[in-house]
Amino acid sequence: GSPGAANEVWSAMPGEGTAPPGRARHYAFVAAAALFLLGGFGWWLTHRPPATPADTTAVKSAAPKAAPAASEAQELLARVRAICDKIGYTRDELALADDFAHRATDLEPTSARAWAALAYVGGSYMNRGWDRSEKRAREVQSSANRALALNPEEPEALMALGLVLSFQGAVVSQVEPLFRRAIAAAPTDGRPRRLLGNFFSLRGRTGEALAMMEEAMRLDPRDALVHYNLATHHAARGNLPAAWQHTDAALAMTPSFASALLLKASLAVRWKGDLTAMRTALDQLPDSDRGDDRSVYLGMWGGLIERK
């Protein structure tokens, strides 16, 4: 501080009177330096970095950060996927998936995944033959286009568009590129390969259909839907032994697979003329599937040929 402040410090020292100016300046300087050092030491005590351990090898690594919690929309989309991946989901279950997907788009309207899921659910209605109306087709296309505007390579949106076009009678050159893009965007997902294989089968392109279904099977040898698609492919071409083989393979993986049970009931008559095997397959249908259109039809058909 100023000389006056230094002298004040000196004059306040106990047991001492005034001192000659030279000595006073000396003691004042010493006192001021001491105060400065004490102040610096106090600052260091309050601002010093944490002490390092003596043994640096014992320093523990930082705890991993917790993963961020999934949003409500993400949880809804996971439930949509679980339903759509289920073998033999019912109409009521698909309606629930549709509701979940709508809620997800309400919660996250800029999510490409949410709009794609909504489109995929609509495409599933068409794929199962439960709703192939123009209204449904327009809804699927609208949702898929919104998803693709946000992410041009969103696989479920591409698959949904492919399904809509295939049921509208589009040619292969219009549909195949959509499924191919979905395959490229999701190379470990067997669904676009399976859907493209089924599309090829419906268009009579047998070699391409079998090649695509075999690719899907290599990705997931336990995919009962691939075996079911192969069974329908062979049945449509009169290769009933191969159709029976793949139907049994699908049922070995999923014994309650209603579509496969209905196909087996049909094949039991068409190939083997075995009414007992037909009735056994129909009797194994889960209660939740007995009211489905195909179940009712085949149940009536079976009763007719049994003369019941």
Tokens of 39: 């102040």
Rounded to whole angstroms, how far apart are CA atoms 142 and 136?
Answer: 10
Tens of pLDDT, residue by residue, the chain (308 residues): 444 433 333 333 334 333 444 444 444 444 444 444 444 434 433 444 444 444 444 444 555 665 556 799 999 999 999 999 999 899 999 999 999 999 999 999 999 999 999 999 999 999 999 999 999 999 999 999 999 999 999 999 999 999 999 999 999 999 999 999 999 999 999 999 999 999 999 999 999 999 999 999 999 999 999 999 999 999 999 999 999 999 999 999 999 999 999 999 999 999 999 999 999 999 999 999 999 999 999 999 999 999 98
Can you read off the two tokens belonging to residue 183?
């395959």
Which residue is it, tokens 């010093």? 48
3-class DSSP assignment, residue 286: coil
Q: Is the pTM of this model over 0.85?
A: no
